[in-house]
Amino acid sequence: MNNDLLAGLNPEQLSAVTWPAKSALVLAGAGSGKTRVLTTRIAWLLQTGQASPAGVLAVTFTNKAAREMQTRLAAMIPVNVKTMWIGTFHGLCNRFLRVHYRDAGLPQTFQILDSGDQSSAIKRLLKSLDISDEKFPPKAVQQFINSQKESGVRAGELSAHDPYTRKLIELYAAYDAQCQREGVVDFAELLLRSYEVLSRNAALSEHYRNRFRFVLVDEFQDTNRLQYAWLKLLAGPDNALFAVGDDDQSIYAFRGAEVGNMRALLSDYGVTGPIRLEQNYRSAGTILDAANALIERNDGRLGKSLWTDAGPGDKIRLYEAYSDGEEAQFIVDEVRALARDGWNLADMAVLYRSNAQSRILEHVLVQSGVAYRIYGGLRFFERQEIKHALAYLRLVANPEDDNALLRVINVPARGIGARSVENLQTASREQGVSLWQALCGAGGGRTAGKLAEFVRLIDSLRQRCEALSLAETISLIIDASGLRAMYEADKKDGEERLANLDELVNAALGFLPQEPAMAVIEFLTQASLEAGDHQADAGADALQLMTVHAAKGLEFDAVFVGGLEEGLFPHENSMNDGKGLEEERRLMYVAMTRARKRLYLSCAQSRMLHGQSRYPIRSRFVDELPAELLQVLSATVKTAAAPVRNAYAQGRIAAAPLAANLGGWKMGQGLHHTKFGDGVVINAEGAGDDVRLQINFAEHGIKWLDLRYAKDKLSAQ
DNA sequence: ATGCCACTAATTTTT
DNA sequence: TTAGTGGCAT
């Protein structure tokens, strides 16, 4: 037996990889070789003959993770990874539903709505029911529907006493009916529908349980209720559910992730305890010590402490800037210094809590001529020109697709205005037929000619496409629909949009369908399930800018975490309850553990937020790090519990513009409160005699005081 | 049908 | 501050 597979694994990794055919929970710390363990275990199962390629189910959250698993597995052993059930929750559910579409009550060619499509479907529904989107904002309805689906609950199982919720439930039911009528499913529906098919059909779930003796899950801490329920259906007591995750890196509770699933797995599957992967192969010792110290403050952890046999490395650099601009300047200066020392820009990242923080960094980066790349923003298949072209494709494939029809009926403008569309929608509702059918039946009216012309366009496209390949079809659609002409006439960004459309044809050219007859459906599915890269110039040597969330799973030689201020990181919306604060702390933990060699933390004493200057204080997370691991680069910073002395207190910056309104108090001024003791003014709002001051008290922490009441209790210091 | 003004809200996000 | 949206005028 060739055991090269197992060479170089540490004892814990080895134990996880060669775990017998029963369930396990692997508590995999950041940088502990999680993906390696997962892929090596699959390779091991196959190589030892414990499993056949068809007998393994491996689930991830992102396409990127799934692809990486496939690539690495293919490099380890000769196996056709394409045929294996390795994929995302959604991708695998799609695959399942394409096979069992009859059991699921779906057309074989069902289409997938991405969140944008779902949003327009909901807006359309609200309109058709004549419901004001004031009272029922589409976003709120969407959120309600998705969170119910992600809890595995259908509209029919819900009840409510208040009329508002009752209406939401009604809308949920009506939305599902609309989707069903149109043969489309949203993301959550892929999961829920698969779950229902399996749970209703004992023979079918039995079949899959027998087939998938080994079920492996990545990022298990991010699973929601429905995903875990789905896993439990596929992995019964006799199957081996092998879940890998890290409760300390659970940062998606806000979108339904349930860390509790980790503990649930232990009891549901009678697993005695997690296998801990604590040896870290990424970061220098000091970074790990600091991260450990931070995360230890969270309650209810499964418990884990990262270590490395690499040396301690550099201390963590801490910089407290006067302003957000100066903070950005510091970061960029430091990046340039490192680059001069031979560090690659692409191996450095600036991480921030919220996207808005990138603006000022960009500004300084442009000024300094440093190449950078921002993660996030529009992705390829989300661009309007791509969506338009694909809507035509959908319409050609299935004219009953109302969403697609509405998207392009007047794009490019062909004289079918809002009122004609409204008439059409009324007609379709009254006759109980799709928009397309209503369109075909439309008699008189002023726009009748235009409508008929549109019908002819789609019909002729369908006919002409029959004999064409996917790429030829898309190419024809772009030309014949008038999209190309429209963007050629658009001087502003037509050129870029045309280039993207060409790119779309290219993508179609390189697309290999599983089943050639289904090429169009498969291509549309892929476009929905895999929206593509954020940016094309990914390969260039450029400084990486992204949110901490986006950085999960990545690593860099040098990491800058900016905006470490109360209210920003931790974010003020999460500061009220302990759960929120702990998630923010995990976010900080994720941020820190991205760094290999060098970690920089920074904050600013004044920051522009929502067009107003704020004077925040340093994040508690900085103070939670052991002082001996930090090297303070700025002159003003004080560590530990003492009130923060900011630039104002030191007279370094002119009084804030607000100062006149503060009822005699100044930003940064020291004061004494009869009850709370000594403190410093750190923020204020209001004017005249309605002023509130935010004060950081040495003993009692940060408080907002209403001057109307607190006036007599305060004295200057 | 398009463009302008006023208004509002303002984390994090994959599929 | 700014980005996105809705109403209204051209």
Answer yes or no: A596 catalytic: no
- Closest nucleotide relative to residue A138's CA, C1' based: C5
The response to whether A29 counts as a known ligand-binding position is yes
Answer yes or no: A218 catalytic: yes
The response to whether A30 counts as a known ligand-binding position is yes
The response to whether A485 counts as a known ligand-binding position is no
Q: Is the CB of A418 under 7 A from strand C?
A: no
Confidence of residue A688 (pLDDT cuts 50, 70, 90): low
From the CA of A263 to the C1' of B9: give the distance in Å.
38
Q: Is the CB of A457 under 7 A from strand C?
A: no
- Closest nucleotide relative to residue A609's CA, C1' based: C1
Question: How far is Cα A287 from Cα A341, in angstroms, rounded to an integer?
Answer: 21
Beta strands in A250-303 (DSSP E): 275-277
Q: Is the CB of A611 under 7 A from strand C?
A: yes
Question: How far is Cα A563 from Cα A78, in angstroms, rounded to an integer?
Answer: 48
Residue of least CA–C1' distance to C3? A356
The response to whether A35 counts as a known ligand-binding position is yes
Q: Which of A117, A150, A189, A219 is catalytic?
A: A219
Q: Is the CB of A610 under 7 A from strand C?
A: yes
Beta strands in A174-220 (DSSP E): 184-186, 214-217
Answer yes or no: A572 catalytic: no
Residue A389 in contact with residue A408, Cβ under 8 Å? no
Give the mean pLDDT of A249-264: 96
The response to whether A283 counts as a known ligand-binding position is no
| DSSP symbol at A618 | B
In a 3-state reduction of DSSP, which class is residue A517?
helix
Residue A656 in contact with residue A613, Cβ under 8 Å? yes
Please tell me the least confidently modeled range out of A24-28, A29-33, A265-269, A400-404: A400-404
Please tell me the least confidently modeled range out of A354-358, A525-529, A649-653: A649-653
Q: Cα–Cα–Cα angle for A345, A554, A276, nearest 5°? A: 140
Residue A40 in contact with residue A76, Cβ under 8 Å? yes
Which positions on strand B lie below 7 Å from a protein C-beta? 1-2, 9-15
Q: Is the CB of A118 under 7 A from strand B?
A: no
From the CA of A472 to the C1' of C7: give the distance in Å.
43
The percentage of residues in chain A with a pLDDT greater than 90, rounded to a whole number, is 70
Query: What is the pLDDT, as a whole number, of residue A670?
Result: 75
pLDDT higher than threshold 60 for residue A481: yes
The response to whether A28 counts as a known ligand-binding position is yes
Q: What is the 3-state secondary structure (H, E, C) of A573-614?
A: HHCCCHHHHHHHHHHHHHHHCCEEEEEEEEEECCEEECCEEE
Nearest to A93 by CA among A231, A214, A222: A231
pLDDT tens profile A163-187: 888 999 999 999 999 999 989 999 9
Q: What is the dihedral of CA A591, A593, A595, A600, to 10 degrees?
A: 50
pLDDT tens profile A205-225: 999 999 999 999 999 999 999
Mean pLDDT score across all residues of chain A: 89
The percentage of residues in chain A with a pLDDT greater than 70, rounded to a whole number, is 91
Give the mean pLDDT of A249-274: 95
Dihedral sign from CA coordinates of A87, A90, A95, A99: positive
Q: Which of A249, A593, A605, A669 is catalytic?
A: A249
From the CA of A12 to the C1' of C3: give the distance in Å.
50
Confidence of residue A508 (pLDDT cuts 50, 70, 90): very high
Q: Is the CB of A675 under 7 A from strand C?
A: no
pLDDT tens profile A324-366: 999 999 999 999 999 999 999 999 999 999 999 999 999 999 9
From the CA of A628 to the C1' of B15: give the distance in Å.
43
pLDDT tens profile A25-42: 999 999 999 999 999 999
- Closest nucleotide relative to residue A548's CA, C1' based: B12
pLDDT higher than threshold 50 for residue A637: no
Q: Is the CB of A78 under 7 A from strand C?
A: no
Query: What is the pLDDT, as a whole number, of residue A251?
Result: 97
The response to whether A492 counts as a known ligand-binding position is no
Q: Is the CB of A133 under 7 A from strand C?
A: yes
From the CA of A105 to the C1' of B12: give the distance in Å.
36
Question: How far is Cα A452 from Cα A426, in angstroms, rounded to an integer?
Answer: 18
Q: What is the pTM of this model?
A: 0.87
- Closest nucleotide relative to residue A610's CA, C1' based: C1
Q: Which of A594, A597, A598, A620 is catalytic?
A: A594
Answer yes or no: A34 catalytic: yes
Name the token pair of A452.
Answer: 């008929």
The response to whether A638 counts as a known ligand-binding position is no
Residue A404 in contact with residue A387, Cβ under 8 Å? no
Q: Is the CB of A655 under 7 A from strand C?
A: no
Count of residues in chain A: 717
